[in-house]
C-alpha cells in the first residue's frame, strides 16, 4: 500500500503505521548521508534483503584503508564496501536503524 502525503504534510511523517507496526521517519539520501557521517546506521525500505544497512568506516592507524568509506551489512551479516546506485540516491525511503 502506497501513501500519498500532501506537500505541506511532508514534515509530519513520523510514526506512520503500516500492518500494525511503527514505520518511523523516512527521509532522502542527503539526510541518510548526514546520519551515516554522524555514526548512525541507515537502510532503505526498498532493499530486498532484511537487516541490510550502511555505515561509515573511518580508518585508524592500524587500518589498511587510508580514507573513510561507506560499507554495507548484507542480509547474511557480511560487511562489504558499498556504492550507491542512482535508485538509492533518488529514493525517499531511507530510515535510521
> Which pLDDT tens digit goes with each residue over 21-37?
445 899 999 999 999 99
Say whether pTM exceeds 0.85.
no
Terminal-to-terminal C-alpha distance of the chain? 22
> Which pLDDT tens digit goes with each residue over 34-71?
999 999 999 999 999 899 999 999 999 999 999 999 99
Please list the residues that pair with 54 across neighbouring strands: 42, 72
How many angstroms separate the CA atoms of 72 and 49, rounded? 12
CA nearest to 35, candidates 95, 84, 78, 88: 95
Amino acid at each position: 500500500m502506497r501513501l500519498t502525503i500532501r506537500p505541506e504534510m511532508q514534515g509530519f511523517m513520523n510514526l506512520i503505521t503500516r500492518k500494525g507496526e511503527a514505520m518511523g521517519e523516512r527521509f532522502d539520501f542527503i539526510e541518510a548521508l548526514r546520519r551515516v557521517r554522524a555514526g548512525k546506521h541507515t537502510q532503505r525500505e526498498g532493499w530486498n534483503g532484511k537487516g541490510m544497512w550502511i555505515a561509515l568506516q573511518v580508518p585508524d592507524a592500524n587500518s589498511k584503508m587510508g580514507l573513510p568509506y561507506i560499507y554495507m551489512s548484507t542480509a547474511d551479516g557480511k560487511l562489504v564496501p558499498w556504492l550507491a546506485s542512482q535508485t538509492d540516491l533518488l529514493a525517499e525511503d531511507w530510515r535510521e536503524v
